[in-house]
Amino acid sequence: MLYRKTALRVAAPVAVLALALTACGGGGDKDSAGTSKGGVRATGESATGEANEGLVSVVYDVTAQKVELGTEAETAKMVSEPKLAKGLIPAVAHVKYTHESGPTLTQNPRASQPARIWADGRRGTLIVGAADHTPGCEAPSSIKDWKQGETHVLCETYLVPKDTKNLEVHWSQENGEPFIWKFAATDRATR
């Protein structure tokens, strides 16, 4: 009987504490799968999210490092009809991905596909493959056997208006809200 009373005295405060933490959101910003909840991140702050890699899912630690802006002359070389891209410049998002959990990736990683650049509240226009030759960016096709713990910088290039003042990099985890990193005109890197 003494054991039962002692167990109840210990269990009651633990149960109350568990209920209190549940009511306050559990004390963290990760869901039950260990991934971060979407929303705005500070410059340099990472987020943990799950991405679909073909038939498997991989959890990545993701950080948008910077956005580099190009020139209208560079845009003219990237597009087949430069007249349609008048007033637009390339914006390259450099995003660092660390393979946190999941199987080794033997195919081209898709981690960067959910990355998007927004300029002054509007989504830019994707230029496929343009970032593969940008210094500091790795081509997904060159990454072989990406194992847990390894980090790679993958980039995406979007066309944005040349007078853009505020840039955002959005990365959406599988079935979740996007993570957003903001870059003011004074924060952004330019080539």
Mean pLDDT by 10 residues, the chain (191 residues): 43 35 40 76 94 92 95 93 94 96 93 94 91 88 94 96 95 88 69 55
| pLDDT score, position 22 | 31
Structure tokens at 140: 């997904």
Cα separation, 88 vs 126, in Å, equals: 12
pLDDT at 10: 40
pLDDT at 175: 77
Report the pLDDT value the prediction gives residue 137, as an integer from 0 to 100.
94
Strands 56-69, 189-190: pairing is parallel
d(CA 72, CA 76): 6
The reported pLDDT for the residue numbered 184 is 72
Task: Look at residue 160 in the predicted model and tell me its pLDDT.
Answer: 96
Question: What's the confidence (pLDDT) of residue 30?
Answer: 63
